[in-house]
A and B are shown apart, each in its own frame.
Chain A
């Protein structure tokens, strides 16, 4: 194990479905400036950077990170771009963590940025089919993409297979109640895309299917925005602590990616009714932190789709597989329950600017540490076809 790593600052932009007023350059710069200010450092102190950008097409530029080099204050310093599907934000953080834990750098800027709604379908006169198509380019061009595969179909396949395996779990009402809960949470997130919106369980149940069995109000939103974090070595973090700036420590990291093709052997193929990557990544992160899931007080997890959120929580061990309804019916994640889930409103209500939304999750957990005096939290990213990527961080606030 390398040296300890802490997060000493965070910065967000507002999440919006579309920013015609800002390009991804200004969004990135704004988030970085906010993070540097929050950390109380000068950007010149930062040694290196990692940027999460999911999709070149969204940015309308190949190697879009090149233009950001000087804009974020890293002239003549290393800046590495990470792209790992929906989990781009979390994997960018893993890269930043390793840069510091290895002892190579003391201060690393980790940020994520994304545009999306500049894509446009001129035939349908709507952005959405083009955004869906762009994400659909993530599927292989020989066997899956020609069939019309896309993100919702892919996650729905996992959800449906889970429901086949566990009949009666993931009831429509339990899922609708989770949507209602996250909507309420989002009203306390000043950066949330759906701030001011009210969605009820009845509305969820009557919203249209986008891919059976998933309804439109159970899906994450398309978002444009940015988030930045400052990762610090123990030496730097301790010096910050002495001047009253409490760092958030990264106590555990874990990652796992499942194979692309579906089959029955979990060691060789993607088993359709599992999100095994989430199970493995969580276990590895908790083992590293010497904690169990019962110690975790707040989780910000990647809710691309509400039923996937419920499966992920089961894979993490919050409830057994097949008992995800208990999250709602036994009040485990409901107000006053054992664990606080997605207090930012998650990706469904807070926003999903893919390159950095897992960093927004981190910002949210750090906020909950301070506001609710919590000690242990976890953040999670998933992504790619069939939710095959998993990346988890255990965060800790030490008194």
Chain B
């Protein structure tokens, strides 16, 4: 099966050789050397190979059941059952439906190698077994929604889920993920295996709301404040850096109307009305007031720094909907709050 060629360590993460001087707290000069703890690996998958091959080649999941205590574990992390004094366990296929153990968590700040994938959800799933029960141990999985970016409220405790197989599988745990059954048709739930391409992704339905005069007025203030933000960014080296190497046309739909802004070459340019073409990213928020509080908080470089939550939290809380899983535009905007403050205080 063809696989996409990617580097384990992205070239941008590789340090150049170098030694630099830094000032210590005691006023003396100290040295810092660019380096890396670097070891290439050809990491043996050993006894787990069979499990991952089944994901890749059969689109099936199996566990190990102990004939003594009848426990079935998925993933099959051991072949012998310790509580039964290392009784030999047997292979047993399980179903591709299950329930969550608890509400999955949503990762916003990820390890270095995953920082381009946020936000993503991680959760534990008990899979259904052929005898109308569930596995005794839970499988840890990525949890996804077909409806834009992941947010709270999509999954909870004991949410029925369906396991979806990626179209291109490599023989690893990322070959599968879970989606809520509530987002699927009966036919999709019944289909085995259900492939990623069987589903329609990033279906964000525009909420139905009535534009009220209060919200329209608030939106005017939001647009004006965003325009002012664009001007302030142009005077802040740190804020310019926050938006550098990033180009996006972003449409913002609210209960007070729509506007859009362009991020390009470290600048932010704001326009009334909807974007005339296809925006790279669509942000949807019914009440524009939280946006207004955020932008006012960002523009206020002298007061308390945390009078508004960051935009990232609006996304995570589900107040600000993204039409696709791409948090970077939002996190770059959030960085500007601190950058404007630091540059203002510096001089």
A positions within 8 Å CB-CB of B: 20-21, 57, 60, 120-124, 128-130, 132-133, 136, 141-144, 146-150, 152-153, 156-157, 160-161, 163-165, 202-203, 206-213, 216, 260-265, 267-269, 272-273
Whether B152 contacts A157 by the Cβ 8 Å rule is no
Task: For the complex of A and B, list the 4 residue pairs with the smallest distance between their C-beta atoms, beginning with the closest.
Answer: A161-B102, A148-B114, A129-B112, A133-B111
Q: How many B residues have CB within 8 A of the partner chain?
A: 68
Knowing A20-B22, A20-B32, A148-B122 are in contact, say whether A143-B173 is a contact too (CB < 8 A).
Answer: yes
Contact in complex: A262, B15 (CB < 8 Å)? no
Say if the beta carbon of B5 comes within 8 Å of chain A: no
A143-B115 in contact given A148-B122, A161-B101 (Cβ < 8 Å): no
Q: How far is the CA of A127 from the CA of B173 in the complex (A)?
A: 28
- A21, A60, A136, A261: the one contacting B28 at CB < 8 Å is A21
Contact of A148 among B14, B30, B111, B316 (CB under 8 A): B111
* Interface contact B15-A142, CB-CB below 8 Å: no
* 8 A Cβ contacts from B99-149 to A: 101-115, 117, 120, 122-124, 126, 136-142
B312 pairs with A208, CB closer than 8 A: yes
Q: Chain A residues near B183 (CB, 8 Å)?
A: none
Chain A residues in 8 Å Cβ range of B123: 157
Cβ B105 vs Cβ A147 within 8 A? no
Residue of B nearest to A271 (CB): B101
> Does any Cβ of A come within 8 Å of B25's Cβ?
yes
Q: Is the CB of B141 within 8 A of A60?
A: no
Q: Which residues of chain B have a CB within 8 Å of any CB of chain A?
A: 10, 12-15, 22, 24-26, 28, 30, 32, 34-35, 37, 43, 45, 48, 71, 73, 75, 77, 83, 101-115, 117, 120, 122-124, 126, 136-142, 152, 156-157, 172-174, 304-310, 312-313, 316, 334
A129-B111, A263-B136, A269-B137 are contacts. A207–B306 as well, Cβ < 8 Å? yes
Contact A210 B108 (CB under 8 A): yes
A120 to B15, CA, bound (A): 9
Minimum CB–CB distance from B94 to chain A (whole Å) comes to 14
* Residue pair B24, A272 in contact (C-beta under 8 Å): no
Cα distance, A208 to B114, chains bound together (Å): 19
CA A357 – CA B25 in complex, angstroms?
A: 23
Bound Cα distance A260, B105 (Å)? 18
Residues on the A chain within 8 Å of B37, using CB? 57, 60
Find out whether the CB atom of A209 lies under 8 angstroms from the CB atom of B136. Answer: no
Q: A residues within 8 A CB of B43?
A: 141
Closest chain B residue to A14 by CB distance?
A: B25
Q: Are A149's CB and B140's CB within 8 A?
A: yes
Partner of B138 from the list A123, A156, A261 (CB cut-off 8 Å) is A261
> Nearest CB to that of A144 among chain B residues?
B140
Selected from B30, B101, B109, B307, the residue in CB contact (under 8 A) with A272 is B101
Contact between chains at A212 and B108 (CB < 8 Å)? yes
In the assembled complex, the Cα of A31 lies from the Cα of B120 at a distance in Å of 41
Residues of A within 8 A of B28 (CB): 21
With both beta carbons as reference points, the residue of chain A lying nearest to B172 in the complex is identified as A146
Inter-subunit contact B102/A153 (CB<8 Å)? no
Contact A209 B173 (CB under 8 A): no
| 12 new A-B contacts at CB < 8 Å, known A129-B112, A161-B103, A269-B137 | A20-B22, A123-B112, A144-B173, A147-B141, A148-B120, A149-B140, A164-B102, A206-B308, A207-B306, A209-B312, A211-B105, A211-B106
A150 touches B105 (CB 8 A): no
Measured between beta carbons, the chain B residues less than 8 angstroms from A142 are 45, 48, 75, 173
A121 lies within 8 A of B83 (CB): no
Closest A-chain residue to B30, C-beta based? A20
Contacts A129-B112, A157-B122, A269-B136 given; does A208 touch B45 at CB 8 Å: no
Q: Report the bound CA distance from A60 to B35 in whole Å.
A: 10
Complex interface: chain A residues within 8 A of B124 (CB)? 157, 262, 272
Given A132-B111, A157-B122, residue A146 in contact with residue B306 (CB < 8 A) = no
A199 to B21, CA, bound (A): 33
Chain A nearest CB, measured from B98 CB (Å):
13
25 A-B interface contacts by CB (under 8 A): A20-B22, A120-B15, A123-B10, A129-B110, A129-B111, A129-B112, A132-B110, A136-B111, A142-B45, A143-B139, A150-B107, A150-B111, A157-B105, A161-B101, A207-B306, A208-B108, A209-B108, A211-B106, A211-B108, A212-B106, A263-B73, A263-B136, A263-B138, A268-B71, A268-B83
Report yes or no: B105 in contact with A148, Cβ–Cβ below 8 A: no
Point out the residues of chain A lying under 8 angstroms from B24, CB to CB.
Answer: 20-21
Give Cα distance in the complex from A216 to B316, angstroms: 14
Chain B contacts for A211, CB-based, 8 A: 105-109
A272 partner residues in chain B, CB cutoff 8 A? 101-102, 124, 138
